[in-house]
Amino acid sequence: MPADMLAQGIKAGRISADQYEANFADLHAPLDDHEALVAADRCYFCYDAPCVTACPTDIDIPLFIRQIATGTSDAAAKTILSQNIMGGMCARVCPTETLCEEVCVREVAEGKPVLIGQLQRYATDGLMAKGVHPFERAGSTGKRVAVVGAGPAGLACAHRLAMQGHDVVVMDARAKAGGLNEFGIAAYKSTDDFAAREVDWLLQIGGIEIKPGVALGSDVSLAELQDDYDAVFLGMGLGGVNGLGVEGDDKNGIADAVDFIADLRQASDLSSVPVGRDVVVIGGGMTAVDAAVQAKLLGALNVTLVYRRSRVRMNASVYEQDLAASKGVRIITNASPKGVHGNGAVREVEFEYTDDDLKPTGQTVRIAADQVFRAIGQSLVGEGLPTLEGRKIKVSASGATSVKGVWAGGDCASGGDDLTVTAVAEGRDAAMDIHAHLMGGAS
């Protein structure tokens, strides 16, 4: 952080060591054995259960909950992981309140769903704690696959390909594997270095090599990967961040929310992470909420999240919006940035009120700020990519791109929600299509 920014009031160590520990503790404490049995006992084990349909990875939820209820939690973990190899992280970060738990029969009838996410964490954490990897690698096929991106989509794809006996090389621009799970999730959602531990556990399948510090475009081209490997999977996410597009966007004190979150996740000492006194976060998705909440937890006095449309149009779930409000974040909607004011450094951000079609009303408001985080969407970065659809790579239902022998999935690919669980599903399904292609089937 530049010294001139720190002089404005952006500083570290705003709260005590005890407060840092309390503020960034696990958002949901894990269930103990008794709590898990009580929670599992509430499940009706529905035939044709709606929760399964709502799960992007098609986990057999009634089955794994029944296995927990009958004391076979390791079997429950395998049921989960057979569909979602990153079930441990998804249990922590999935918006279950808008997926499986929203359609739970208990939720519909009583307003209190079965704790599906927490039960999933109970089972997967239990198995991982034993150091057990429940899958074995098939005999070698002699085929080599390049995976670009060591995030949820790339790792899920790599694991499924390795299970089928293929050799996989996973390349990532960052110095550490994990992608969004490692760098883009709020610190209180993934504590105790879980993302890194999950990657290490996943790699126990064998046949997967991680090559950090390798970026598509600058370090290796798609054409080179096609020449050197039998197939390629692109799962590098969205590396670019959209600017505000208003005058003053380049002032000191303005940063990208994704970088702020990454700095938090990689910090060995949270008291070393600087934060402003008056923080404004611009955006309405999960990244915006995570940045806003964590700014407040770091000790910012005033944190305001501003979104250009109404609350119902926010990508962040109602649960996440309520979490932000409960932590003291003020949420302003139907307001678009108009300008950033200050003499070299940000002092105020001016917004103009709009309707839900973004039509200006002519009314403006200025919000005091010494630190501003942009969280208004990310863009695909790279050259020589397959055909795009909008701002993402166009893919078929199985993840195939316009280029023969190249598949894609996760945030960089069209069609899916920008969720960890969706990325896992797309990586897994693309792997099976790649496998069929490599073994002589139709792609």
d(CA 39, CA 407): 40
CATH code for the part of the protein at 144-239+380-438 = 3.50.50.60
Query: 278-282 and 302-306: which strand pairing?
Result: parallel
Amino acid at 217: G
Domain 33-129 has CATH 2.60.40.1120: no
Model pTM?
0.95
Amino acid at 293: V
Q: Quote the CATH superfamily of domain 3-25+241-377.
A: FAD/NAD(P)-binding domain (3.50.50.60)
pLDDT (0 to 100) of residue 1: 47
pLDDT by residue, tens only, the chain of 443 residues: 444 444 468 999 999 999 999 999 999 999 999 999 999 999 999 999 999 999 999 999 999 999 999 999 999 999 999 999 999 999 999 999 999 999 999 999 999 999 999 999 999 999 999 999 999 999 999 999 999 999 999 999 999 999 999 999 999 999 999 999 999 999 999 999 999 999 999 999 999 999 999 999 999 999 999 999 999 999 999 988 899 999 999 999 999 999 999 999 999 999 999 999 999 999 999 999 999 999 999 999 999 999 999 999 999 999 999 999 999 999 999 999 999 999 999 999 999 999 988 999 999 999 999 999 999 988 898 888 999 998 899 999 999 999 999 999 999 999 877 899 999 999 999 999 999 999 996 54
Q: What is the pLDDT of residues 50-59, one digit of tens each?
A: 999 999 999 9
Beta carbons of 153 and 235 less than 8 angstroms apart: yes
Q: What is the pLDDT of residues 332-363, one digit of tens each?
A: 999 999 999 999 999 999 999 999 889 999 99
107 backbone dihedrals φ, ψ, rounded to 5°: -65, -45
d(CA 287, CA 374): 9
State how far Cα 135 lies from the chain centre: 25
User: At a CB cut-off of 8 Å and minimum separation 6, what does 335 contact?
Assistant: 306, 307, 308, 351, 352, 353, 354, 365
Domain range list for the chain: 3-25+241-377, 33-129, 144-239+380-438
pLDDT (0 to 100) of residue 8: 61
Beta carbons of 192 and 228 less than 8 angstroms apart: no
d(CA 292, CA 260): 10
pLDDT (0 to 100) of residue 323: 97
- The answer to whether domain 3-25+241-377 and domain 144-239+380-438 are alike in fold is yes
